[in-house]
Amino acid sequence: MEQEAVANLTTLLDNRFAEAVSLVYNAQGRVIISGVGKSAIIGQKIVATLNSTGTPSIFMHAADAIHGDLGTIQEGDVVVCISNSGNTAEIKVLIPLIKGRNNKVIAMTSNKESFLAKQADALILAYAEKEACPHNLAPTTSTTVQLVMGDALALALLDLRGFSPQDFAKYHPGGALGKKMYLRVSDLVELHDKPQVNENAPIKDVIVEISQKRLGVTAVVENSQIVGIITDGDIRRMLEKNDILTGLTAKDIMSSNPKQISNHSMATAALEVLETNSITQLLAVDENNNYTGVVHLHDLIKEGIL
């Protein structure tokens, strides 16, 4: 029943819905979402979605509004009232008070003939013929369609505002989603001392460098430029082939032309290179192609990029 109700919502994205979107888009203030019962909980989720996608919003419980919280509403704010029936006692008291303050009201209701729908300046019709509850009592279908129409409202506004992934990251700086948008290779290489040896370094020095820097790799560098790379795997293969290490140098076991990435690249770009080449370490360089450090797969996991 809920699936059918949600599928039917596409037929309700009409001019009335467009008017509601336009009313919010052109508002000088914030969006105030209000409701009671289960609709209030849906309202709080819609507020969270609007805020994270560029539309400043706040929740105001309809019952609390008529007991002091009406001061939440400021000049220029648009109020979205959510009520399945559109005829609850709290809504009937609240609507005249809001309109008396000259704020615009958007109704989100299943009943287009309700008090709320007729008093509102715009209507989002979230129609639910019947609750999925076998007694047609517990809010189930009605809250599902409210949630979906709330998402439709938020994403229509996102599109109108040209809200980009970079904007999204600004609102989510502490999470993995945000980090994917702002974390750069330069931020990762700063986490470690950079392992490096020159071409003529004895194998013992190479092993010590890899061991001390604990990244499983060292760059082979001449005049700040990368000429090769040695991994702990290279060390193991060398030990399998050679019983005597005297005279062996970094140049003898290094791999030339290793994969590199710019300091200014996004961390997600580093991850793509690592995954594409099935490697766990990547050497980083600055704008002058000077070696700056190592990006390790474990760092990307720790930062939540992978």
* Residue from 286, 296, 282, 299 nearest 219 by CA: 282
> Tokens at residue 281, please?
């370490």
Ligand-binding site membership of 61 (annotated): yes
Distance of CA 71 to the CA centre of its chain: 32
Rounded distance, CA 184 to CA 202, Å?
34
CB contact set of 97 (below 8 Å; sequence gap of 6+): 65, 66, 70
Point out the annotated binding site for Zn(2+).
61
Point out the annotated binding site.
61
